[in-house]
Amino acid sequence: MRNRYWTIGPLADWIRGTPSPGALTAEGWDDWNKMAKDKHPIRFWIADEGLRYLQDFVMWPIDKLYSIKYYINNRFVSRTHALTAHPRDIKPGQWQDVGYRFLPCLFNELQNYVEVELAWWHLAWATKEDRAKYNMPWWAYGWFRIRTWRCPQAGLDNLAWQMTCDNKDYTPEDDPSYGELTPQAHAAAEILALYTWWTETYRNRPDPYDVSGWSQYCDDCREEHGGSLWASLRETKNPELKARGDAASKRLHEIEAEYEQEEEDMMIRLIKIRRSLWT
């Protein structure tokens, strides 16, 4: 991957004879390109096409080394061809039906996206002081970077910055939409909400067996009848205990249905935001 394109910068501006602007809309860039090309067509071609050909020729050996490096990294380290659940959610070697793999695999990747990819993006062009602030090790940046460094705070700080992005740089001040947040900002807010749900809300949801009273009911049945749990549940003749069991069973199914609906809703939200998960 190239850190800089020769067609962008002071040299290209000098050759072209027309300095490139800052942020523009797509229409703005079309207008600027037409103006620059009409003003100095030959110089525009040299700056826009000639420098690109020259860079491709000069950088060919380095580009090939980068390609090999990133293939090895993507194939064996970050494994971007696969969705894998964290051992905390699915233990290696443990059987798990396909339908139960979706939630942990998708949200583990979302967590990796925030804590690894966005963390790196937040510090991709950082100063030495910035890297020290987040305790960024030497192997997490530069040519030898290995995409395994994890820093939740850096990823969250990146989302916080994205959530402030507005359209002031490319929208006229007299436009009614001037100052509004960009789609990128709205997407970052949604990513943060999903990340927070997975890392905090989901992780701290009460056990449905406990909050429904089913666990306590089973303990009481064992204490009253002894023996195995299922034998105790079948043999209980205590009307009060049986009524508690029926109520606990009903509440247990309600809570499990609520959890399943919540998980489904969150997966749908994640799918809808998937095109914004880039760095």
Q: Per residue in 167-199, pLDDT tens? A: 998 888 999 999 999 999 999 999 999 999 999
Domain count, the chain: 2
Place 223 in a pLDDT band, splitting at 50, 70 and 90: confident
Q: Are residues 173 and 238 in the same domain?
A: no
Q: Is residue 176 part of a domain?
A: yes
Predicted pLDDT of residue 236:
62
pLDDT per residue over 26-78, tens digit each?
778 888 889 999 999 999 999 989 999 999 999 898 888 878 877 887 788 77
Q: Are residues 151 and 234 in the same domain?
A: no
CA dist., res. 90 & res. 258, Å (int): 22
How far does the chain reach from its first CA to its final CA, in angstroms? 13
Q: Is residue 278 part of a domain?
A: no
Burial zone of 34 (CB within 10 Å; 0-12 exposed, 13-18 middle, 19+ buried): exposed
Domain residue limits at 239: 208-270
Q: Are residues 108 and 198 in the same domain?
A: yes
Task: With 0.75 as the threshold, say if the pTM is over it.
Answer: yes
Q: Are residues 101 and 147 in the same domain?
A: yes
Separation in Å, CA 88 to CA 125, 133, 139, 214: 33, 29, 26, 25
Q: Are residues 139 and 225 in the same domain?
A: no
Report the phi/psi class of residue 187: left, alpha or beta, with left for phi > 0 and alpha for psi in -120 to 50.
Answer: alpha
Q: Are residues 112 and 167 in the same domain?
A: yes
> Between vectors from CA 91 to CA 85 and to CA 95, what angle results, nearest 5°?
90
The number of C-alpha atoms within 13 Å of 85 and in the hemisphere containing its C-beta is 19
Q: Are residues 216 and 198 in the same domain?
A: no
